[in-house]
Structure 1
Amino acid sequence: MVLCGLFGAQTDQINTLISVTEGHSVTLHINITELHTDEDVEWTFGVQSPDEIIATIYKDNMTSSSINERLKNHVEIDAQTGSLIITNITTQHTGLYQVTITNAKLVNFIYRVIVHARLPVPVISRDSSQCSSSSSSSCCCVLCSVVNVSHDVSVSWYKGKSLLSSISVSDLNIRLSLPLEVEYQDTNTYRCVVNNPITNHTQHLHITQLCHTSAVGVLRCGFTEAVIRLVVSAVVGVATVAVLVYDIRSRRESPSTSDESECK
């Protein structure tokens, strides 16, 4: 959970921004060690229905819990301090929570709670379709992907500590992918990081493991080149032999021609 301080603070009103990951529990404190017998505590939720009461403590110490469907079975109130406890919080519980403490002086506490979805672990895979045609023979193309991510998530590639590229999303529950090209023999350290404002997951790229099949491609390219060289050598060899045979025959025919001339 992350407390981000105050926002729009006013007299007798304390506003706090809280970020939390879904599945966790969060307590909205009102900085009271113990309620006095003359104090009423009333918690409300939402902006559209600010008067929707979700939990209360009255002077007679009678308490009531949420009637909001989203918060049902998720909230309880501390009878001693008046703090609100939200258990197994979900993204549907994002919103404004306001507590009003009534006694001789009226005090309001407003909490803006942002619940972030759990981050998926990024998956790195090889994807040759991401390679440019000019580099496909010398580079290994990989893809870092995450699925079902929320609007506050980004995916980034790092080379050592240096940021190479990054992408974020504006829609919910979509697939987010970021490509990277590396050379087959690259020995640098690469990592893919998926993060939101409060947490992150890192996946390291193991080039020798993921791109080991590239050796086949390199071998094929080397084999083709070797075949071409062999064919060229063969052609040159045949041509050389033909020249030598022609030269030998020419030399053999020359003496006989001279002898015939002398006899005449």
Structure 2
Amino acid sequence: MRNRSLIIVVVLLVHGVFGAGEVKSVSVMVGDSVTLHTDLTETKGFDELQWEIPGENNIIAQIDREANRVSVPGNQEERFRDRLKLDHQTGFLTITNIRTTDSGDYELQIKSSMNVNKYRFSVTVRDVFFVNTDGVKSVSVTEGDSVTLHTGVTQKQRDDVIQWKFGDQDLNGPADAETGEITIRNIQRDQTGDYTMEINTSSMILHRKYYIAVGEMNTVSVMEGEPSILYTGVIEIQGYDLILWKFEDHLIAEIDKVANLFLTYDNNAGGKFKGRLQLHRQSGELTVRGSRTTDSGDYHLNMNSSTHSFQRSINVTVSGSGRSGAVSGISGASVGLMVWAVAVFLLREV
């Protein structure tokens, strides 16, 4: 069994220690839970602490120690409706299931009898396709794939802490020393479930959840002269920016949505597929018409999106016309792959 790779792409931009007067830029994805904070482990000696939207004169969370009052008025607004949490001890502000409408500046003011310190955060929320109403990102793979979950961190700072869990179980695999990403090799059906990531830095804590669905391995057996249909496992390719099909090491088809390209490369691989390749624009599936025994081999699919990427190998066997049972093999492989695609689509909609 060959190893395949899936890459989960996440985005997080934070740098260094956070001081008063700075503006800290934070980039996250829709559905994330983000906690904004200073590098202080506990805010001591202040009389009043408040979070507000600069320019709107709009206080969204407040701790007033003189009045012994803690309030989160932002939860009464339609914009944040019950998605803000304020830590009573530290004053850290958490925005749960973050949305694109939450993008913008947030200012923390810490007032004491001696001075007033201000900290500003500029939050950018990127929209993504593979996310449900609870903020969970969905990913579909097949058993045997090698799955790499990415943090989006290019270089961990000395005090950064990155943790991964599968359900309630810590993932203690070999994490990359620079990025904190973790790899699950030869993934199996019993590894379907929730994967969570926490990144704790000097200025924020980010939580992200993925649901990974692991389906059966893709193989295709057809009879010579019949079409070979290679499925992507999705009903629609919306959300994917780049799709590549290769036969062994030869690029034979490409969908580049950014450049609006839908191309087949009939002359590659020695021209063996000339005039026989068809690319489905909606699902990204590839059809090889009039299959020949020389078409047998490994086909590689690469699909990239803003949340994840994956690489998959599909083994295709083209049998000579004299062999019996080939037709049933075609039907079984094609129907099985389509059932998996429909199941993944329905799962994503739940």
TM-score normalised to structure 1 length: 0.53
Does the CA-based 8 Å contact 1:43-1:100 persist in structure 2? Answer: yes
1:64 aligns with 2:74: no
Contact preservation (8 Å) 2:236, 2:283: no
Matched, 1:156 2:243: yes
Question: Contact (CA 8 Å) 1:156, 1:178: kept in 2 or not?
Answer: yes
Offset of residue 4 of structure 1: 1.8
Distance in 2 (CA, whole Å) between partners of 1:50 and 1:218 is 75
CA distance, structure 1, for counterparts of residue 60 and residue 237 of structure 2: 30
Structure 1 counterpart SS, 2:41: coil
2:104 to 92, 96, 110: 96
- Give 2:40's aligned amino acid: I
Q: 1:18 to 1:55 in 2, by over 3 A?
A: same
The structure with more helix, counted as a fraction of residues: 1
Q: Structure 1 106/114 Cα, relative in aligned 2: closer, same or farther at 3 Å?
A: same
Give a deviation string over 1:188-242, Cα, whole Å, max 9, x none.
433334433342345543423xxx6x866999xxxxxxxxxxxxxxxxxxxxxxx
Equivalent positions of 1:200-211 (< 5 A) are 200-208=309-317
**Within the alignment, does 1:108 sit opposite 2:120 as a pair?**
yes
Q: Secondary structure at the match of 2:12?
A: strand
Separation in 2, partners of 1:34, 1:122: 43
Aligned 8 A contact 2:100 2:126 in 1 = no
Asked if the contact 2:52/2:106 (under 8 Å) is kept, the reply is yes
Check conservation: 2:27, 2:124, Cα contact below 8 A: yes
- Residue 75 of structure 1 and its aligned partner are, at CA, apart by 1.8
* 1:85/1:106 CA distance change after superposition, 3 Å: closer
Seq. identity, %: 22
Amino acid at match of 1:144: T
In the alignment, the residues of structure 1 paired with residue 104 and residue 22 of structure 2 have an alpha-carbon distance, to the nearest angstrom, of 14
Deviation of residue 44 (structure 1)?
A: 3.3
1:122 to partner: Cα distance: 7.5
Partner in structure 2 of residue 167 of structure 1: 256
For residues 169 and 111 of structure 1, do their structure 2 counterparts lie closer, same or farther at Cα, with a shift above 3 Å needed? same
Residue 37 (structure 2) aligns with: 29
1:41 aligns with 2:60: no
Q: Is the 8 A contact 2:30 2:100 kept in 1?
A: no
In the aligned structure 2, how far is the partner of 1:58 from the partner of 1:217?
A: 84
Superposed, which structure 2 residues align to 1:205-224 within 5 Å? Answer: 205-208=314-317
Kindly state the Cα deviation for residue 76 of structure 1 after the two structures are TM-superposed. 0.2
Does structure 1 residue 178 correspond to structure 2 residue 190? no
Q: CA deviation at 1:98?
A: 0.7
Tell me the equivalent position of 2:21.
12
Structure that is richer in strand per residue = 2
- The counterpart of 1:54, out of the listed 46, 50, 60, is 60
Post-superposition offset of 1:34:
1.5
Secondary structure of 2:232's match? Answer: strand
Q: Aligned partners of 1:162, 1:74: CA distance in 2, in Å?
A: 49
Amino acid at match of 2:140: V
User: Is 1:196 aligned to 2:215, yes or no?
Assistant: no
Matched residue type, 1:189: D
* 1:43-96: CA deviation from partner (whole Å, max 9, x where unpaired): 439xxx844443223344522222232422222012222222233x15456522
Matched, 1:140 2:234: no
How many corresponding residue pairs? Answer: 194
Q: 1:205 to 1:125 in 2, by over 3 A?
A: closer
What SS is found at the alignment partner of 2:228?
strand
Contact 1:139–1:184 (8 Å) recurs in 2:
no
Who wins on radius of gyration, i.e. which is larger? 1
